[in-house]
Each structure stands twice: as structure tokens, then as C-alpha cells.
Structure 1
Amino acid sequence: MVDVNIAGALADLYTLQERDQELDKIKEQQEQLPEELVEVRQRWAELSGRLSQLKERYLALQREYKQNDLEIKDLMAKRKQAEDEQMQSSSVREQTQFENRIQQLSTRIDELTELTMPILEEMDELAAKIQALEEEMGQVKPELEALEAQNAERVAQLEAEYQEKLAVREEMAASIPKNLLREYQAIRRARKGVGVALVIAHGGVYRCSACSVQLPTHVAQRVYQGQQVVRCPSCGRLLWKGPQEG
């Protein structure tokens, strides 16, 4: 009875592994994005990045322009005050002092004005580029949203299939001894989704189907006797003799 139970449990476990691998495949399919969606996402990210850079540069120029503009207005106010005070002064010395002051202020105003003009020109150029990019993104957005919706529907359909298969898998797992199931699951996590391997016999040589290592004869014999759970001495996977003919 023990032999039959172990053999049957390993057979059930191997079938369970096939279901688990089907579930793994569904999860992989869910994560694999359609090529068209990947391309459009990349395009959107590229446009968004460029737009962000342009806007950042525009804001920096805008701050610089405002700072210059405030300084120019302050200098013009000071120049106007100096001109008013010059008109009210009576001595030649004061007239000369005010004239020098007015000249200094005018020179600084001209310098700032000259610096500000290229800033305005670049801001105009940037504004045009920003508008063009926003228009291009406006054209890409509907396509991206449509592809995202299609992908969401695809993922939802796969999830429904996954849940359906998972329910069947859980029902199958309930009939397998818990300690054996836990051991299988731990090995499967550590060994790329394969916890149970077949013993392949050819010309008197026995190999593990998972790692292809030749098994010692006494290990193969223990597997075929079916009196205990045997693990591959190389990869550690559970070994099953497979369905026997006759």
C-alpha cells in the first residue's frame, strides 16, 4: 500500500506540475507586452522627456527675463528720479554729478536690455517647440490609450483563464500529501519552476530529465522501487519513474 501511495502521489505531483507550468506560462503572457504597445509607450516617454526638458529651460529663461525686467524697471525709476533732481539742482557741480549718475544708469539699462533680447528670442523658439511637441503628443495619446485598453482586456482575459485553471490546480493539490506538496513547491521555486523530474532510461543508463546528469544505479533502483521519495543527487529535484507500460 505504501508503494502504491508514493507512486500515485508522485504521479499526481507530476500532473500538478504540468498545471503549474501552464499557470506560469499564463503569467508570462500577461507580463509580455504587445510590441506595438511597447513602441508607442517608448515614443510617448521620449516625447514627454523632451517636453519636460523644454519646459524646464523655458521656465529658467522666464525667471531670468523677469529678474532682468524688474532690474530694468528699478533702474529706469532711479534714472527718472535722478533726472528730476537734476532739473531742480542749481549748481554746476550737482548738475555734473546727476549727469554722471544718469549716464551710469542708462548704460546699465542698455546692457540689461541687450542681454534680455536673446532671452526673449529663445523663449519664443521654445514656445513654438513646446506647442509642436504638445500637438504631436495629442496625436499619439489616443493611439496609446487604445493600445493600453486592448492590453488591459487581454490581461483580464488571461487572468480569468488563470483563475479557472488555478481552481482546478488547487483541487488537484488537495489530494497530495501536504509534506510532499510543500517539498515540491520549495524545490520548484528554487529550480526554475521544475520540482519533479522524470528518470530517463536508455541503454542501461539512467538520467535526470531536468539536469541530464547520469544517476547512480542505486538511486535509479530506489526510484523504480517506489518505496520512498528520492531526490536527484545533482539538482535536488524529486524523481519519478514516469508512467509504466503494461
Structure 2
Amino acid sequence: MYQKQIEQLVILQQIDGEMISLTAEVENAPKEIASLEKKCRDVEAQRDQVREKLGYLTDQLSRLETDIEDDHVRMKKSKSKMMMVGNSKEYNAMVREMDSLEKLNRSRDEEKVAFAEEVERQTTADRELSEQTEALRADLETAQAGLKTRLDAAGKRIAELSEQRTHACGVIPKPILSRYEFIRSRLANPVIVSVTNGVCSGCNISIPPQAFIELQKGQQILSCPNCQRLIYWDQHIMSQEKAEEAQEA
């Protein structure tokens, strides 16, 4: 009788453990979708910022190229005029103007190089973020497509386990079941654990020698004095398994 009760409690715990995992999956699956959606939005926002910056840089680069081209035209005209200058005063004035234009153009050329380099960097960033977005969108579509299937399968399995749990609870004496449920409400799984070589596998602490002796007798279900979980001597279950194997053989 004792061993049968232990076996049923272990079965009940296995059922509860699977139900806990499935319930967590049902709760977390929509959260996973929400997390992927947020990642998509975040990456898309980054990409939009990059594209906005890229648009500004492209406009500035175009403006610089236009200004540089206009200055080249002005310099050509100034050089042509220098050939027609009638006195040194006008000549010197035109030389100064051309020097100013050349300095301005050198500065603009340097600025153009800097803008072109930044455009290249932002173009690379845009491409990488676009690839990330596509990958995340594909993951999201796959997750969304499989969500209903996952939830349906989990719900079906939970229903099956609920029936198995009802059956298991029906064959366990109410006082023992009440102790199991009481401990389960206060401690995380596992609720019932084996004792091997006098050590509780739930808290990994040795139980008192007298308690271990009582446990080995297999007359009543005991609790670990340290973690309060239900305990059983592992040899009892092993002996039962060997007996069942012998009967099957």
C-alpha cells in the first residue's frame, strides 16, 4: 500500500510538472510574439532614422557639388577676365578673388569627402538594418503562423493531463493528497523526492538517522525535516520496479 501511494504521488507530480511547463508555454507564446514585434519596430525605427539622415546627407552632398561646380565656372570666367584687365589694381583684385574662391573650393572639397564617407557609412547601416528587418519579419511570420498550432496542442495536452490528474488524485488517500497539495502551494516542484544514502534529493541535506530508519521501514509517508517535501527511500521504488520487471519476464 505504501509503495503504491508513493508511486501515485510520483505520477501526480510528473503530471503537475508537465502541466506547469505547458501552462508556461501557453502564457509565454504570445509574449514571444510581442517581443518579436517590438524588435521589428525598434529595428525599423533605427532604419528610418538612418534613412532620414541619409536623405539629409545626400541633399547636402548634392548642394556642395552644385556649389563647387558653380565656383569652377566663376573661376573660369575670372581667368578669362584677367586677360582683359587694364591696370594692376584690377588685376590684384581679381587675383585676391580667385585665391578666395580656391580656398573656398578646397574647403568644400574636404567637406564633400567627409559627406561622401558618411553617406557610405549610412548606406551600409541602412542595408544591414534592412536585412535585420527582413529576418525579424520572417521569424515573426513563422511564429505567428505556428502560434495557434502550439496553443491548440498545448491546450489539448493540458486537458488530457487534467483527466489523468483527476484519476491520480482519486486513488491517493485524501489526507496524503491534502499534504501534497499543501506543500505544492508553498514550494516549487518537486514536491515529493527520493532519499538516497540518507540525503534528501530536494534540498541535498542529510535527514536525521532516526528519520531515515523510519523511512526505510516503508510504513508511512514522511516529510523532509529540512525542506518539508514528501520523501521516499529510493530503494523502495527500485525494488518495486525490479519486481514488475520480473513479472513481465
What's the TM-score once normalised by structure 1's chain length? 0.49
What's the TM-score once normalised by structure 2's chain length? 0.49
Instruction: Pick the structure with more helix per residue.
Output: 2
